[in-house]
Amino acid sequence: MMAVDARLMRAAILLETDPAAAALEATEILKEHPGHYAALLLLGTAWRGAGNPQAAASFAELAAAHPNSAPIHLELGRTLAIQGDNADALKALKRAVELEPNLAEAWRELATLHAKHGDTDACDVAYAHFTRLATPEQHLAEAHTGLANHRLGAAEALLRRQLAQNPQDPQALRMLAEIAAEHENYVEAEQLYGLSLEAAPGYSRARFDLARTLHVQQKAQPMLPLLERLLRLEPASLAYRSLQASAFGLLGHNERARRILEALIVEFPNNEAVYIHYGNALRTGGFAAEAIAAYRKGAELRPSYGEAWFCLSNLKTFRFKAEEIRTMREQADRPDLSDEDRLQLDFALGKALEDAGEYGASFQHYERGNVLRRRAVLYDADVNTRFIESVKKMYSADFFAARDGSGCQAPDPIFIVGLPRSGSTLLEQILASHSQVEGTRELPDIQGFALELGIRESRIESPQFAHSVDALTRDELQALGQRYLDQTRPSRVAGKPYFIDKTPSNFFHVGLIRLILPNARIIDARRSALACCFSNFKQHFQAGVWFSYNLDDIGRFYRSYVRLMTHYDSVLPGRVHRVHYERLVSDLSGEVRRLLEYCGLPFEEQCLRFHETQRVVQTASSEQVRTPLFAEGVDQWRNFEPWLGELKRALGDLIPQDSAASPGQHC
């Protein structure tokens, strides 16, 4: 028998490289040992690999002889599925898991077969069994370690080697997508998650990660079907329901989001993260007092929870009690804090001590938080400078003249662009107070189009972008504009004639907006250089604003922004309206009238009483725009002037010039 076993092992080795030879060796063994179980199993497997139609008959014969063998029914099911006999394949696989419920491979095959039949729920249940039972993929262990330790380059190299050998490895595809998302390469991340789900349609982890990646981009609408499918499998899941609430909040269905979160609080009363999600929903809906109570509850449940303290500080109008500041300082001194908790505590303490007038200590905390955040982000100021220059070179006056009359002619969108913390939310609130204008949120669609066309600000792949934009036909430009309207329609819940897309970083894409939506209004929200830059330095952004964690980076970014907008002044004269925050504060009525005139809207008194307008506001300024306009915040940066030398050097001559433009200037 030892000789037979050795021959079987040699034949098994041939299965992947030469299944016909493996079948020949198994046949020879069976001549000498008729009915040998292992040889029959090997023969059927080899015939299947060689495409021999006798494979199914061989396994059927084996199954009849060994009706209680789960492995044989598994192989029979696999073979029948390959030969297109899905109904009998399903029976065989169900019999396999009935005989051996812990047979992981049978559950995976069942998941694939259910997916082919369109039975998504059964597919997901089967794949969940496989995920629970399967042994960890050892070939991915090193890549897992690299990801866990944020060694993304090493992990990516390992995963790409694995995918070169097996392009349909769903776990490797998902992990590679995770790395792409970390680099903010969301187009590639979404594609990779899609490939992972094609390879394993029931792979809930990939589906959830895809939903989270969409959430970072604020693409709420496509999140919902993903989450609905996940929730059919696990209706009690805290993670899925929390993310679903966030999606509803992004779409403006704030009441629905709050109901989900209120139910979660009842079920998970000691989960600090639920209170933060709930506080965020309350805050965007204008329930400030209730939001504060929710954030405080999160901090009470876990005093080291940096996000709870940061959310309180991020209300802007909120002031910490002395005992709360003591607690934050005690927690910030703990040696066992995670970097994320520590940096959020530092930003919160920076705000608390600034409000208390302790500006030196405040700056130290702001700086510490920024240093921690800067370590974790990929940003190169030189790359950004080169990128801005390439955009200027691409979008010339002749370029636009050659495409005059192209694009979708709808006048619906009003874009507000600029830098964060420049007064853009205030402008949105003013315009959304008009009876004909709907405020939405920061919509990701223009940035998504730019990514599809090949833009990579972080990797300076603008030549591909320039070529792609240059190659767009008039029909394609019109289709892109129409696609923008179609994609943003779910965010227009009030159905008003005009709507606002307040995405500051769209200043990069003013040229693209002009090409695909030539009648859209574009407003540049401008704030004086030192005030705007330092306000960004004080703010911890969840994602995307990677230039804001170093004073030199911020100053250089502001200079690049001004250069690009000045270029648009030249090549698109009169197409962009600039509003200076400081002038809006000093002459609200005049600036609002000029703004409405530019938008082609009749003056309405309610726009001056913007703080009375009840609507969902999803940015850091949500509380500020619900109060009347005051001048106190204009020069708050002056309290920190002794520590802003690096920023001043980066801004250079923009410091005295940034308020020199004439009031009401049109670009």
Average pLDDT, the chain: 88
Give a yes or no: residue 666 inside a domain.
Answer: no
Amino acid at 115: A
Spatial contact of 222 and 193, defined as CB atoms under 8 Å apart: no
Calculate what percentage of the chain has a pLDDT beyond 70: 90
Work out how many domains the chain is built from and give that number.
3
- SS3 of 558, please? helix
Report d(CA 187, CA 184) in Å as an integer: 9
Q: Which helix (H) or strand (E) holds 524?
A: strand 521-526
Q: Which residue from 330, 162, 314 is spatially nearest to 622, judged by alpha carbons?
A: 314
Burial of 335 (0-12, 13-18, 19+ CB in 10 A): exposed
The answer on 295 and 215 residing in a single domain is: yes
Residue 147's Cβ-side half-sphere holds a number of Cα atoms within 13 Å equal to 20
Report d(CA 179, CA 571) in Å as an integer: 38
Q: What is the mean pLDDT of residues 603-616?
A: 82
Residue 342 tokens, joined = 């520590």
Report d(CA 579, CA 523) in Å as an integer: 7
Q: In the sheet that 498-502 helps form, which strands lie side by side, from edge to edge?
A: 437-441, 498-502, 413-418, 521-526, 576-580
- Using the 3D structure, point to which of 345, 375, 405 is the last residue of a domain: 375
Spatial contact of 614 and 625, defined as CB atoms under 8 Å apart: no
- SS3 of 574, please? coil
Q: Which helix (H) or strand (E) holds 180?
A: helix 170-182
Give a yes or no: residue 662 inside a domain.
Answer: no
The answer on 388 and 371 residing in a single domain is: no
Question: How much is the pLDDT for 7?
Answer: 75
Burial track 598-632 (b if 16+ CB lie within 10 A, e otherwise): bbebeeeeebbebeebebbbbbbbbbbbbeebeee
Measure CA 88 to chain center: 42
Q: What is the mean pLDDT of residues 350-377?
A: 94
Q: What is the mean pLDDT of residues 235-246?
A: 96
Q: What is the mean pLDDT of residues 310-322?
A: 92
Question: How much is the pLDDT for 81?
Answer: 86
The pLDDT confidence band at residue 60, using thresholds 50, 70 and 90, is confident
The answer on 183 and 83 residing in a single domain is: no
Burial of 187 (0-12, 13-18, 19+ CB in 10 A): middle
The answer on 390 and 305 residing in a single domain is: no
Q: Is a pLDDT exceeding 60 seen at residue 664?
A: no
Amino acid at 107: W
Give a yes or no: residue 667 inside a domain.
Answer: no
Report d(CA 372, CA 346) in Å as an integer: 10
The answer on 313 and 257 residing in a single domain is: yes
The answer on 389 and 367 residing in a single domain is: no
Report d(CA 18, CA 263) in Å as an integer: 58
Q: Which residue from 185, 230, 183 is spatially nearest to 206, judged by alpha carbons?
A: 230
Task: Report the first-to-last Cα separation within the chain, whole angstroms.
Answer: 89
- Of 217-221, 561-565, 591-595, the poorest mean pLDDT is in 217-221
Residue 648's CATH number: 3.40.50.300
Q: Which domain holds residue 14?
A: 2-133
- Using the 3D structure, point to which of 356, 375, 394 is the last residue of a domain: 375
The answer on 475 and 336 residing in a single domain is: no
Q: Is a pLDDT exceeding 80 seen at residue 243?
A: yes
Give a yes or no: residue 142 inside a domain.
Answer: no
Give a yes or no: residue 24 inside a domain.
Answer: yes
Q: Which residue from 647, 377, 649, 414 is spatially nearest to 525, judged by alpha carbons?
A: 414
The answer on 411 and 290 residing in a single domain is: no
Q: What is the mean pLDDT of residues 386-405?
A: 93
Calculate what percentage of the chain has a pLDDT beyond 90: 65
Q: What is the mean pLDDT of residues 319-334?
A: 96
Phi-psi category of 275—alpha, beta or left, where left has phi over 0 and alpha has psi -120 to 50?
alpha
Q: Is a pLDDT exceeding 50 seen at residue 461?
A: no
* DSSP for residue 440: E
Report d(CA 265, CA 271) in Å as an integer: 8
The answer on 601 and 476 residing in a single domain is: yes
Q: Is a pLDDT exceeding 70 seen at residue 555?
A: yes
Give a yes or no: residue 138 inside a domain.
Answer: no
The answer on 461 and 369 residing in a single domain is: no
Give a yes or no: residue 144 inside a domain.
Answer: no
- SS3 of 661, please? coil
Give a yes or no: residue 141 inside a domain.
Answer: no
Q: Is a pLDDT exceeding 90 seen at residue 200?
A: yes
Question: How much is the pLDDT for 614?
Answer: 61
The total of other beta-carbon atoms located within 10 Å of residue 374's CB is: 16
Question: How much is the pLDDT for 62?
Answer: 75
Q: Is a pLDDT exceeding 80 seen at residue 61?
A: no
Burial of 205 (0-12, 13-18, 19+ CB in 10 A): middle
Question: How much is the pLDDT for 23?
Answer: 67
* DSSP for residue 149: T
Residue 119's CATH number: 1.25.40.10
- Using the 3D structure, point to which of 375, 401, 436 is the last residue of a domain: 375
Q: Is a pLDDT exceeding 50 seen at residue 522?
A: yes
Matching residue, tokens 């029959």: 40
Q: pTM (2 decimals)?
A: 0.80
Residue 212 tokens, joined = 């989270």
Question: How much is the pLDDT for 252?
Answer: 82
- Of 118-122, 466-470, 563-567, the poorest mean pLDDT is in 466-470
The answer on 276 and 203 residing in a single domain is: yes
The answer on 25 and 119 residing in a single domain is: yes
Residue 5 tokens, joined = 């076993």
Chain segment 159-183, per-residue pLDDT in tens: 999 999 999 999 999 999 999 988 7
